[in-house]
Amino acid sequence: MQIFCIGRNYRDHINELANESPSDPVVFMKPPTALLKNNKPFYLPYFTIACQHEVELVLRISKNGKSIPEKFAMDYIDAITVGIDFTARDLQNELKHKGLPWEIAKGFDNSAVIGSWIATEQISDWNDIHFCLYKNRALVQQSSSKHMIFDFKKIISFISKFFTLQKGDLIYTGTPAGVDAVLIGDILEGFIENDSLFEFEIK
C-alpha cells in the first residue's frame, strides 16, 4: 500500500502558512507505518514541540492504473473518508529553510490517521463534499471539496503520471486553514457532512 499526500491544495491554508500557490499538485508520500486507524490513540512524538493536525479528505484506490486520463479518474476510487496528516511543523520549517527534504516531518509513525470509509455511490456531489475537524468538541477546521485548487480527477491523473496506482492505495487530498498544535489529552473527531468517521485521543 502506498500513501500519497497533496500539499497546498486550499488557498486559505496556503495563506496561513505564507506559502506560494502551486501550478501543479504538490505530491509527497508517507510510508505504510504512518497509518493510524480504528480510533487508536495518537502518541505525541518526542522529537517535535509543534505537532499539528491537518484534516483532509482521503480517497481509496480501487484498481491499478498508470497515466490515467482525468475523464476516467473517478473510476479508480471506491471510497472516501476523512483523515489527519499530522505534521511536525518545527522540523518541517527547519528543513525547508535549509532546502532539505522534509519527509521526517510528515512520514513518522502514526502520522496518517484514517477514518471509516464511505462508498463512492453514497456521495451525491463530489464537487461539494463538506468535512470538518473538532478538537475537544470545538470546531477547528472545516471546508468543502469545492475549495480545492486541484480537484480529485486532476490529483489522481497527475499522481498516476509518475507512480503506478495500485488497489488499496490512499490519497490525502490537502488541508484547509485552521491547522494547530495538539496536546496530550486532546480529543479529535472528524466528519464528512454529518457522519463522524473517527474520534481518538492524543496521549
The residues with which 110 forms a beta bridge, in sequence order, are: none
Reduced to 3 states, what is the DSSP secondary structure of residue 144? strand
Q: Could you give the percent of the chain with pLDDT greater than 70?
A: 100
Q: What is the pLDDT of residues 22-44, one digit of tens each?
A: 899 999 999 999 999 999 999 99
The domain tally of the chain equals 1
Nearest 5°: the CA angle 7, 101, 203 is: 70
Mean pLDDT score of the chain:
96
How many whole angstroms separate alpha carbon 53 and alpha carbon 51?
7
State which residues form the domain around 174.
3-201
Residues 6+ apart with CB under 8 A from 137: 187, 189
Cell 496561513 sits on residue? 16
Nearest 5°: the CA angle 172, 59, 73 is: 115
Q: How does residue 179 score in pLDDT terms, banded at 50, 70 and 90?
A: very high
Q: What is the pLDDT of residues 159-168, one digit of tens each?
A: 999 999 999 9
pLDDT of residue 187: 98
pLDDT of residue 165: 98
The CATH number for 57's domain is: 3.90.850.10
pLDDT of residue 105: 97
User: Considering the entire predicted model, what is its pTM?
Assistant: 0.96
Please say if the pLDDT value at position 14 is more than 80: no
Q: What is the pLDDT of residues 80-128, one digit of tens each?
A: 999 999 999 999 999 999 999 999 999 999 999 999 999 999 999 999 9
Measured from the Cβ of residue 43, the count of other Cβ atoms closer than 10 Å reads 13
